Every structure is written in structure tokens, then in C-alpha cells.
């Protein structure tokens, strides 16, 4: 085998390792932000966000807790409304952080369930996976007039 072929094999192997490891290390597979939140907050209830709401508790306020989760999990979008924070993930998860007396309650849901539970607070969260509102994902964008 030539040295060029060996080099290409090594580069290909490194790329394959990177493609597999990067999503695992940065939450691209599995239960989205679940593992990171498990490592940093007190688990309260639930185990599989595909089937049920998973809940944790934080001693910090809503803003501090949401900022820490966002920094550690890289959500695709974030909203705040009525003293709650909502983090949306491109792999179909939604984290809600709400006031819980002397701390915060953190919930993780599959996006459709989380959105359904919180639609009165987040309103229309345009298109799945970060597509914005305002017609931007509909036939070339714009306000919609004349379409």
C-alpha cells in the first residue's frame, strides 16, 4: 500500500471518529440535554423524555438556571415569557425552567409535548428546528402578501 493510500486511510479514520464523537460529546444523540442536566441538577421525577416529562430542581433562580443550561447544552433557540425560560433543541427537545419557590423547576419534554404544555407562554414558535416566523420558511419568505 502506498504512503498516499495510508495517509488517506488515516484521514478517513480520523473523520469517522470525529463524526461519531462530536455529537456524543456535545449532545447530538440520545436524549438531548438530559445527560448534562442530570449531571448538574437534582432529579425529581421521570426517566425517559420520549415517554414522559422528566423533572429536576435547581437552587438557582430561573434566569441563572436557564443560562447555565443554555451554556452547557447549546439550544437552537431560547425564549422567556411570564418568568419562565424555554430552550428548544434541534434534535426535538424542549427544556422549560420555571420558578419553584426558592429555586427553579426544570422540565425536559419531547418538543411537541413541551410545546403543547407551554403554548400559552411561547405562542407560535415558527417551524420546527429553528425556522423563524414571519413567513421566512414559506415560499421564499416575506410577509406573505401576494402569495
| In a domain? residue 100 | yes
pLDDT at residue 64 in the model: 96
DSSP string, 18-29: HHHHHHHHTT-S
Phi then psi for residue 3, to 5 deg, are -65, -30
Structurally, how many domains does the chain consist of?
A: 1
Report strand pairing: 42-45 vs 77-81: unpaired
- How many angstroms separate the CA atoms of 44 and 116, rounded? 21
**Domain assignment of residue 38, given as a range:** 32-122
| In a domain? residue 52 | yes
| In a domain? residue 76 | yes
The domain that holds 80 is classified in CATH as 3.30.310
pLDDT at residue 129 in the model: 40
Using 70 as the pLDDT threshold, list the residues of the chain that sit under it.
16-31, 112-147
- How many angstroms separate the CA atoms of 138 and 37, rounded? 35
Determine if residue 142 is left, alpha or beta; phi over 0 gives left, psi from -120 to 50 gives alpha, anything else beta: left
> C-alpha cell of 49?
423524555
pLDDT at residue 55 in the model: 93
| In a domain? residue 139 | no
Q: Are 107 and 54 a contacting pair, CB within 8 Å? A: yes
Amino acid at each position: 500500500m502506498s504512503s498516499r493510500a495510508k495517509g488517506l486511510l488515516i484521514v478517513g479514520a480520523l473523520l469517522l471518529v470525529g463524526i461519531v464523537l462530536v455529537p456524543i460529546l456535545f449532545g447530538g444523540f440520545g436524549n438531548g440535554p438530559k445527560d448534562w442536566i442530570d449531571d448538574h441538577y437534582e432529579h425529581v421525577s421521570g426517566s425517559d423524555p420520549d415517554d414522559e416529562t422528566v423533572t429536576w430542581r435547581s437552587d438557582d433562580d430561573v434566569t441563572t438556571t436557564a443560562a447555565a443550561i443554555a451554556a452547557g447544552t447549546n439550544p437552537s433557540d431560547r425564549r422567556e415569557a411570564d418568568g419562565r425560560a424555554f430552550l428548544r433543541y434541534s434534535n426535538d427537545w424542549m427544556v422549560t425552567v420555571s420558578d419553584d419557590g426558592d429555586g427553579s423547576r426544570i422540565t425536559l419534554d419531547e418538543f411537541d409535548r413541551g410545546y403543547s404544555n407551554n403554548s400559552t407562554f411561547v405562542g407560535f414558535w415558527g417551524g420546527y428546528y429553528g425556522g423563524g416566523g414571519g413567513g421566512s420558511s414559506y415560499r421564499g419568505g416575506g410577509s406573505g402578501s401576494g402569495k
